[in-house]
């Protein structure tokens, strides 16, 4: 339990350190009281990624060796899980569109960051790696023996949503965090949920480069947008539920000290 909390604090420290470094790089922004420019943010966050990964590994908050042995799944099951996740993510994005939730300028900032190769790598490759290591590999895995798989995934998803600090990103982050948590339960390591996260972020970055698509969707009636979103979410949920036959048996997993996925609250926590 303590290690899970420390993993969350490590992520907060990573964000604060990256922000401080970005202001050192873009000193004019600090003097003017504005946000650092996109280039400074990309450089600072990218530089801090290996430090956080090393910290999590040295403090034994992650499996050794990474990404952990996990459980093999049939290729068709992995494909269904990935397709289900992408469908839920796309549908959720559509369904929330008519609400016009404020993102505090995050979308504009991400758009600026995605203009460079370094920014794309951060958003699509390094960012998902850090988030999956912290929220699934560390927080969810470490909480599971104490709380059971469901509560562990929920707490990890809620923590994932909280760090986004706005409703426009926080609501999808929580719901998609639950889906990513399910993928972690299926496999016992971050390979599948990391892949899903990368695909989702890659699609998001691509859409940032295609404002014409957003403009076209904006011309649809609200009912059509919500309906299309609901249909995609329903399809995704069906695909994700189709993978449940491969979920681990609690009694079989209870004896695994490396990546316990037991739903029992009486399981012993990781040392």
Q: What percent of the chain has pLDDT over 90?
A: 72
Closest CA to 153 of 167, 128, 169, 132: 132
Mean pLDDT of the residues in the chain: 89
CB 152 within 8 A of CB 181: yes
Q: How far apart are CA 183 and CA 185, in angstroms?
A: 5
Collapsing DSSP to helix, strand or coil, 84 comes out as helix
Contacts for 182 with CB less than 8 Å, ≥ 6 apart: 153, 240
**Which pLDDT tens digit goes with each residue over 194-221?**
999 999 999 999 999 999 998 999 899 9
The Cα diameter of the chain in Å comes to 59
Please give the C-alpha separations between residue 267 and each of 26, 53, 83, 147, 178, in angstroms, as whole numbers: 49, 27, 33, 9, 22
**Which pLDDT tens digit goes with each residue over 35-50?**
899 999 999 999 999 9
Q: Residue holding tokens 């969350």?
A: 8
């Amino acid at each position: 339990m303590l290690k899970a909390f420390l993993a969350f604090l490590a992520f907060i420290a990573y964000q604060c350190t990256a922000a401080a470094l970005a202001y050192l790089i873009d000193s004019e922004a600090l003097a003017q009281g504005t946000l650092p420019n996109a280039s400074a943010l990309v450089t600072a966050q990218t530089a801090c990624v290996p430090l956080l990964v090393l910290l999590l590994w040295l403090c034994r908050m992650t499996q050794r060796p990474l990404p952990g042995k996990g459980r093999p799944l049939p290729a068709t099951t992995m494909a269904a899980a990935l397709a289900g996740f992408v469908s839920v993510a796309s549908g959720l994005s559509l369904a929330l569109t008519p609400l016009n939730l404020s993102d505090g300028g995050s979308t504009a900032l991400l758009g600026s960051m995605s203009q460079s190769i370094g920014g794309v790598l951060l958003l699509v490759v390094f960012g998902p790696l850090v988030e999956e290591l912290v929220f699934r590999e560390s927080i969810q895995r470490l909480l599971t023996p104490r709380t059971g798989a469901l509560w562990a995934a929920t707490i990890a998803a809620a923590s994932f949503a909280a760090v986004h600090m706005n409703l426009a990103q926080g609501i999808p982050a929580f719901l998609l965090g639950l889906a990513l948590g399910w993928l972690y339960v299926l496999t016992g390591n971050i390979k599948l949920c990391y892949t899903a996260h990368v695909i989702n972020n890659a699609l998001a970055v691509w859409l940032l480069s295609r404002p014409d698509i957003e403009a076209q969707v904006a011309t649809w009636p609200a009912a059509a947008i919500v309906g299309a979103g609901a249909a995609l979410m329903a399809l995704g949920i069906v695909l994700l539920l189709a993978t449940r036959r491969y979920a681990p048996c609690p009694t079989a997993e209870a004896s695994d000290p490396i990546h316990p996925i037991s739903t029992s609250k009486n399981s012993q926590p990781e040392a």
